Amino acid sequence: MRILIVRHGDPDYEKDSLTPKGFREAELLADRLCKLDVKAFYCSPLGRAQDTARPTLQRLGRSAETLDWLQEFRGKVRRGLKELTAPVVERHLPFAICFGNHDRQVGLDNRAQFEIYKEIPGFIGEDTPGVDGVGNCVLEIADGDRPGYLLYLIDSHSSLKVGYDHVHQNQIDWYRGVRDSYEKQYGHTIPSVVIQHIPVCEVFDLLTQVKKSTKGAVQGFRTHAKEWFVLNRKRVDKEGFMKESPADPQENSGEFDAFCEKGEVKGLYFGHDHNNAFHGDIRGIDVGYTQGAGFHVYGPGLDRGVRTIALHRDGSLSTQDLRYRDLVGKKLQEPLHFAFFQIMPTNVYDAISRAVKIFAALGGIAVVALLLVLFLGK
């Protein structure tokens, strides 16, 4: 007996389906499998697996038995998420989540992960039907019997073939609808904060474009390739830092313009670029980055940290980032592991730049060595 294990075609994790390339791969797979005498077919319930199997099954006039346990990594992901959230669960703190562009890479799509989060005590996140993405919701922060603040969590989606996706139009329309419904109910807009993973394009308003030779300059990429930037110190907090260029969406969807329409959005915060932590005012909204917190990915050394946001009854807010070196100190449990992630490239452009520098250095050493050999040989 032979058992054939087939992985799904090129996935579209956002839709839990296949990309156009993946559907072509599924047709080619059918060409191969239809030549074999397959006694039984078994399939994962995940959409990308079902779509991969469909051409073969349709050509053969067969069906596959769907087995729930074939969903890859569900048990491991569940254990990981429960371990991740244990500190807040143990302290009986309510929490919600905002998906980023790497979450689906654990083997479960965001929808399946969201269902696992719902099993965890204290999870208060919601998902709005009919709105693109997973986990789009608004949470009320009460002040007595009325909402004192609104907290919007918005799915900024994933990577495109080139660059990053943007918040979609129906998400912007959903935000406007929620905002206006609260205004109608209470006679005024409610102060709000927005959290999402990928930044808005307008974050570059807090930067200054400079020459490559400028101290501390970071190179932009994709939409800002061949440009170099530093923080505009007149516009950002004095403790802020930027060690890599913001990786903004390929297109400006107009999301930030919508947040500025009525002035109720007081803060907009994101992550995405692990080596950045700064905030500053853009058109009346405090816009800011939060650096990476974990030590199993690249990050800003001992300046890894988290951002706290204090909401005040007068509708204002204040924020600061809390850093590992200040909270814990300089002691590390895994110094070699830490060192590895400190030297790894942050993106393709960084990797290419480092490779060029290494080869240039090696070339220089080779030239010097050759000259020495020629000189000493005389």
pLDDT for residue 354: 66
- Residues 170, 253 contacting (CB under 8 angstroms): no
**287 φ/ψ angles, rounded to the nearest 5 degrees:** -110, 130
Closest CA to 195 of 306, 351, 332, 89: 306
Q: What is the pLDDT of residue 114?
A: 94
Which pLDDT belongs to residue 154?
Answer: 97
Single out the residue of 51, 46, 40, 63 nearest to residue 9, CA to CA: 51
Q: What is the dihedral of CA 85, 86, 91, 97, to 10 degrees?
A: 10
Q: E strands, 144-246, where?
A: 146-153, 192-195, 207-210, 218-219, 228-231, 241-242
CA distance to 192, 207, 242, 268, 357, per residue, from 195 (Å): 10, 21, 19, 6, 37
**Domain 126-327: CATH class, spelled out:** alpha beta
Alpha carbon distance 182, 170 (integer Å): 18
Residues 6+ apart with CB under 8 A from 286: 266, 267, 268, 279, 280, 317, 319
Collapsing DSSP states into helix, strand and coil, what is residue 84? helix
Can you give the pLDDT at residue 134? 95
Per-10-residue mean pLDDT for the chain, 378 residues long?
A: 90 82 95 94 91 96 89 79 94 95 82 93 96 96 94 89 86 98 96 97 97 94 90 96 93 96 97 95 97 87 94 95 90 73 65 70 81 75
65-123 pLDDT per residue, tens? 998 877 766 778 888 899 999 999 999 999 999 998 888 777 788 988 999 999 999 99
Q: How far apart are CA 240 and CA 269, in angstroms?
A: 14
Contact between 194 and 154 (Cβ < 8 Å)? yes
Burial 165-189 (b: 16+ CB within 10 A, else e): bbbbeebbebbeebbeebeeeeeeb
pTM (predicted TM-score): 0.79
Give the model's pLDDT for residue 344.
Answer: 65
Quick one: which of 301, 305, 304, 290 has its CA closest to 338? 301
Name the amino acid, one letter, at 54: R
| Contact in structure between 260 and 268 (CB atoms under 8 Å) | no
Neighbours of 116 (CB within 10 A): 17
